[in-house]
């Protein structure tokens, strides 16, 4: 694992700078102590990173759970009681992994996964623009359309124009320019510029700018526009920030309901993230999903035991990891170690980092996830790919992650049903040389009740005094509903003087007296 240290170390530093404000912001949006977000980030990096089979995924507190956590803490009445639910959720995830429930992640269409990545990229850009200009009313890392501050994503953008901070905006543009120059030019010139990444330089300049302009009026950055890490007075104060669960509440029904909710949502988010990050991986490695659920379960058990909020694998951190050139999961583990060491040793230095610089880092992450060229690519692939993709993107932007994915998945299933309806059979006029038209209907390999309407329409349209050959040689599954359709049509066929012939694996059978019995005899597996 350490053989990739030259690639993983710089990537871990970038992920650290991405994760730091998100850990704090998600904790704030969740109504939990700020330190609980840092705990979740540390455990997500070190514990989950070590146990996971993913080489590119990074875990930590997830924005998709913020609303659930906020409601749960209020419902249960205390953060200590909520931590019991987090521990139980981890146990449930562990059981899901052992039960091999990770296979669920493979049932999401690629168009929905690509839509999820693009939608997250767009929402990152929209949410980070206010922070880039020094307007920090909405917690960093919050990703829902309706925001805790009473605004929505777009009204927040409009209000940003009224609250621009000149100092924060200036260093934001400087940091963005440095990172673009680093990425597009310097990184291609020498290995040094690949090891020392642009975000690290931008953050260092951000700290320097803040310190040099503290007394410079409009050019100064107000402390409210800086990272805000809890600062312990001593080592004892640091450990005093940990909160422990109140297991006396384990018998409460509400605790178990919330635990099941967290386990299901966190597992779904993780499996979706795994599918997405595997597609981002340049080496196209495949993450073992059952092992991932086990790793997440263990992580949530640890997080709940020491006062952390729930953990999932997270697209934003994972995509930053891939974009920074990581090679193995060492980068995820190192980012967790950096979080731990930073909040323990240098919290005051961290609190000099302008949020606008970190917003610039995230803007680049968002752009790389939602490049305009991807929209054209998906559109050219046809409506069956474009519609679920676009639905997922719009759903994520105008609702939240899980609702957006659910809408995309629903549309994807509808597209499948439409194509199944269209492709159940092939009917054509085969021969009319003897003066009596002969039609041949070739059934697909699987024909289900979804195809009833299309087949009934074709049969009813057959003209009188014709022949119909039904070819079932390639059919391996024929739904009972379809058999009954042919059985009913056999009676109508006599009145319309339509002769029916069945071309099956046993040969051609002319006008079988009992179509239902014939099909059941011929297809033992139906």
Render pLDDT for 252-276 as a digit per residue (tens, 0 to 9): 999 999 999 999 999 999 999 999 9
Rounded to whole angstroms, the Cα distance separating 275 from 287 reads 8
Which runs of consecutive H residues, i.e. helices, occur in 62-216?
66-76, 79-98, 110-132, 153-160, 166-184, 192-195, 198-212
107: Cα within 13 Å, side-chain hemisphere: 9
Q: What is the pLDDT of residue 439?
A: 87
What's the start-to-end Cα distance of the chain, in Å?
51
CB neighbour burial string for 480-505, b if at least 16 within 10 angstroms, e if fewer: eebbebbeebbeebeeeebebbbbbe
Rounded alpha-carbon distances, angstroms, from residue 239 to 39, 128, 344: 11, 32, 10
Q: Give the pLDDT score at 445.
A: 76
Structure tokens at 115: 């839509």
Burial of 506 per CB tally in 10 Å (0-12, 13-18, 19+):
exposed
Residue 424 has pLDDT above 60, yes or no: no
H or E element, residue 478: strand 477-478
> Per residue in 287-315, pLDDT tens?
999 999 999 999 999 999 999 999 999 99
448-502 residue pLDDT tens: 777 787 788 888 888 888 888 888 888 877 778 888 888 888 888 888 888 888 8
- The alpha-carbon radius of gyration of the chain (Å, integer) is 29
Q: CATH number for 423-522: choose from 3.30.750.24, 3.30.365.10, 3.40.50.12780, 3.20.20.80.
A: 3.30.750.24
Instruction: Report pLDDT for 11.
Output: 95
Task: Say how far apart CA 376 and CA 359 lie, in whole Å.
Answer: 27
Q: Which of these, 311, 362, 335, 336, lies nearest to 36 by C-alpha position?
A: 311
The residue with tokens 């991807």 is: 374
Query: Average model confidence (pLDDT) for the chain?
Result: 89
**Using CB atoms within 10 A of its CB, is residue 242 exposed (0-12), middle (13-18) or buried (19+)?**
middle
Q: What percent of the chain shows pLDDT beyond 70?
A: 93
Mean pLDDT, to the nearest integer, of 23-40? Answer: 94
Which 3 state secondary structure label does DSSP give 498?
coil
Instruction: Quote the Cα angle for 348-350-351, to 5°.
Output: 65
Q: What is the pLDDT of residue 425?
A: 59
> Given this model, what pLDDT does residue 522 score?
53
Q: Provide CB contacts within 8 A for 167, sequence distance 6+.
A: 134, 209, 213, 216, 218, 219, 220, 221, 222, 225
Token representation of residue 252: 């409460």
Distance, CA of 516 to CA of 495 (rounded, Å): 19
Number of neighbouring beta carbons within 10 Å of residue 410: 14
Helix axis angle, 5-29 to 66-76, nearest 10°: 50
Hey, where are the domains in the chain?
Answer: 2-401, 423-522
Q: Tokens 């940003």 appear where?
A: 160
Cβ 69 vs Cβ 82: under 8 Å? yes
CA atoms within 13 A on the CB side of 413: 8
Q: How confident is the model at residue 84 (pLDDT cuts 50, 70, 90)?
A: very high
Q: What is the pLDDT of residue 198?
A: 92
- Residue 215: partners with Cβ closer than 8 Å, 6 or more residues away: none
Are 310 and 69 contacting, i.e. CB atoms less than 8 angstroms apart? yes
> Which residue in the block uniquely carries the two structure tokens 């050959």?
469
Pull the structure tokens for residue 370.
Answer: 């939602």
Question: Which whole number is the average pLDDT over 346-355?
Answer: 95
φ/ψ of 291, rounded to 5, equals -65, -35
CA distance 136 to 12: 26
The pTM of the full predicted model, rounded to 2 decimals, is 0.83
Q: CA 512 → CA 441, 444, 499, distances in Å?
A: 16, 21, 10
Return the pLDDT at 429: 64
Question: How far is Cα 314 from Cα 62, in angstroms, rounded to an integer?
Answer: 6
CA distance 278 to 262: 24
Read off the pLDDT of residues 379-400 as tens digits, 9 standing for 90 and up: 998 888 999 999 999 999 999 8
- The Cα–Cα gap between 291 and 274 comes to 11
Coarse DSSP helix, strand, coil percentages of the chain, rounded to the nearest 5 percent: 65, 10, 25
**146 DSSP β-pair partners:** 152
């Amino acid at each position: 694992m350490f053989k990739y240290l030259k690639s993983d170390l710089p990537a871990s530093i970038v992920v650290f700078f991405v994760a730091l404000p998100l850990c704090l912001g998600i904790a704030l949006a969740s109504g939990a102590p700020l330190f609980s977000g840092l705990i979740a980030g540390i455990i997500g990096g070190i514990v989950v990173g070590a146990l996971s089979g993913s080489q590119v995924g990074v875990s930590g507190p997830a924005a998709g759970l913020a609303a659930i956590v906020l409601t749960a803490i209020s419902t249960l009445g205390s953060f200590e009681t909520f931590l019991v639910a987090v521990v139980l959720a981890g146990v449930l995830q562990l059981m899901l992994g052992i039960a091999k429930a990770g296979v669920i992640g493979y049932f999401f269409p690629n168009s929905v996964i690509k839509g999820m990545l693009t939608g997250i990229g767009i929402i990152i850009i929209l949410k980070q623009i206010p922070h880039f200009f020094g307007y920090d009313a909405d917690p960093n890392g919050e990703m829902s359309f309706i925001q805790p501050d009473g605004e929505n994503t777009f009204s927040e953008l409009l209000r940003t124009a009224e609250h621009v901070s000149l100092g924060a905006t200036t260093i934001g543009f400087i940091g963005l320019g440095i990172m673009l120059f680093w990425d597009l030019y310097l990184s291609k010139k020498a290995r040094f510029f690949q090891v020392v990444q642009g975000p690290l330089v931008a953050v260092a300049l951000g700290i320097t700018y803040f310190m040099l302009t503290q007394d410079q009026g409009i050019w100064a950055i107000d402390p409210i526009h800086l990272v805000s890490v809890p600062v312990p007075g001593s080592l004892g104060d640091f450990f005093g920030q940990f909160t422990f669960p109140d297991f006396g509440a384990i018998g409460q029904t509400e605790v178990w309901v919330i635990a099941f909710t967290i386990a299901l949502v966190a597992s779904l988010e993780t499996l979706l993230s795994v599918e997405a990050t595997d597609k981002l991986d340049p080496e196209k490695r495949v993450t073992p999903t059952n092992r991932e659920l086990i790793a997440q379960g263990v992580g949530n058990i640890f997080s709940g035991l020491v006062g952390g909020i729930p953990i999932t694998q997270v697209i934003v951190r994972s995509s930053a990891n891939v974009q920074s050139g990581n090679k193995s999961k060492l980068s995820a583990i190192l980012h967790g170690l950096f979080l731990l060491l930073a909040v323990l040793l240098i919290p005051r230095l961290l609190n000099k980092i302008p949020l606008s610089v970190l917003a610039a880092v995230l803007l680049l992450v968002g752009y790389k996830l939602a490049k305009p060229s991807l929209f054209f690519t998906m559109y050219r692939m046809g409506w069956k790919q474009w519609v679920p993709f676009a639905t997922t993107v719009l759903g994520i932007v105008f609702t939240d992650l899980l609702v957006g994915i659910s809408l995309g998945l629903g549309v994807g299933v509808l597209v499948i049903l439409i194509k199944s309806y269209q492709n159940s059979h092939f009917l054509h006029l085969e021969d009319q040389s003897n003066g009596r038209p002969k039609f041949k209907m070739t059934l697909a390999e699987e024909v289900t009740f979804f195809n009833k309407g299309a087949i009934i329409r074709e049969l009813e349209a057959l003209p009188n005094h014709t022949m119909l050959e039904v070819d079932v040689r390639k059919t391996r599954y024929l739904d009972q509903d379809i058999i009954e359709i042919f059985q009913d049509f056999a009676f109508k066929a006599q009145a319309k003087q339509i002769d029916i012939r069945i071309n099956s694996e046993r040969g051609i059978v002319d006008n079988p007296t009992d179509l239902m019995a014939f099909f059941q005899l011929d297809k033992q597996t139906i």
